[in-house]
């Protein structure tokens, strides 16, 4: 399946403030433009989740991260460069994001989607270099390209009602969730989703490191 028209449609909906159901490098997620307060509020409403709970955002690269946090701790650069598994980093000092996408302490969790090792070099290289890939993409590369085209961080929260189990596959996502979003990315692009959660690491500006989820 050619990813180009699907990417275009998903980005158009996101730019209009819509909410989508899409595959990430971990699980299927509900997402929206993380700079759009009304769209973020809809995500909380769909999940029946309190806005007091923080969200994870996706970025396509460290340049995007740098635009939305006041300072990137140096250790974060090292972690991202050597990381080959899903890893969410909680950065202090979020900026230029919807207020309801930021934690009460002003921090924000951001992950750069991992491109799976079995994905082709043709797909992986353009995503890292910032050029548009061609043809088919699997979940990790598709997700990163989606964020790159949106040019803003993307909310990424599991596709389930708050308190219910996280779906391990598209088939386990409830009809309530599917009917509540504005667009569902076609299922073939979710075949690369690992079904596992990411590691979560919280960083401080003075070099503090907390591993919240190994």
Cα 156 to Cα 74, 77, 95, 209, 212: the distances in Å are: 25, 21, 18, 23, 18
Backbone angles phi, psi at 59, to 5 degrees: -125, 155
Backbone angles phi, psi at 201, to 5 degrees: -125, 130
Q: What tens digit of pLDDT does each residue of 85-117 get?
A: 888 999 999 999 999 999 999 999 999 998 864
Mean pLDDT of the residues in the chain: 85
Q: Which of 54, 52, 143 is nearest to 91 (CA)?
A: 54
Dihedral class, residue 105 (left if φ above 0, else alpha if ψ from -120 to 50, else beta): alpha
How many whole angstroms separate alpha carbon 118 and alpha carbon 116?
5
Mean pLDDT, rounded, for 151-162: 96
Domain with residue 8: its CATH number is 3.90.870.10
How many whole angstroms separate alpha carbon 204 and alpha carbon 90?
9
How many whole angstroms separate alpha carbon 130 and alpha carbon 153?
15
Mean pLDDT, rounded, for 126-149: 66
Do 46 and 177 contact (CB within 8 A), yes or no? yes
How many whole angstroms separate alpha carbon 38 and alpha carbon 33?
10
Mean pLDDT, rounded, for 34-58: 95
Whether the per-residue pLDDT at 207 is higher than 80: the answer is no
pLDDT band per the 50, 70, 90 thresholds, residue 134: very low
Query: Residue 156: in which H helix or E strand, if any?
Result: strand 154-158
Contacts of 120 (CB under 8 A, 6+ apart): none
pLDDT band per the 50, 70, 90 thresholds, residue 56: very high
How many whole angstroms separate alpha carbon 80 and alpha carbon 117?
16
Whether the per-residue pLDDT at 31 is higher than 90: the answer is yes
Which residues form the domain of 196? 4-213
Domain count, the chain: 1
Q: Is 190 helix (H, G, I), strand (E, B) or coil?
A: helix
pLDDT for the residue 184? 95
Cα 87 to Cα 2, 15, 29, 127, 197: the distances in Å are: 28, 26, 16, 17, 9
How many whole angstroms separate alpha carbon 6 and alpha carbon 127?
17
């Amino acid at each position: 399946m050619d990813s180009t028209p699907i990417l275009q449609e998903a980005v158009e909906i996101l730019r209009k403030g819509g909410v989508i159901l899409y595959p990430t490098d971990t699980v299927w997620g509900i997402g929206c433009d993380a700079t759009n307060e009304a769209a973020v509020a809809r995500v909380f409403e769909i999940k029946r989740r309190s806005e007091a709970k923080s969200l994870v955002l996706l970025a396509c690269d460290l340049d995007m991260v740098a635009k939305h946090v006041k300072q990137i701790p140096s250790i974060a650069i090292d972690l991202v460069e050597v990381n080959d598994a899903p890893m969410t980093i909680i950065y202090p000092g979020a900026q230029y994001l919807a207020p309801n996408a930021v934690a009460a302490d002003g921090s924000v969790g951001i992950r750069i989607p991992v491109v799976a090792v079995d994905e082709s070099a043709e797909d992986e290289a353009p995503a890292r270099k910032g050029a548009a890939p061609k043809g088919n993409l699997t979940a990790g590369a598709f997700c990163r390209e989606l964020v790159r085209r949106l040019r803003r961080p993307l909310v990424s929260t599991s596709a389930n009602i708050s308190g219910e189990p996280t779906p391990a596959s598209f088939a386990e996502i409830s009809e309530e969730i599917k009917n509540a979003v504005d667009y569902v990315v076609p299922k073939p692009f979710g075949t690369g989703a690992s079904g596992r959660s990411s590691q979560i690491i919280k960083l401080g500006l003075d070099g503090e490191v907390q591993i919240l989820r190994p």
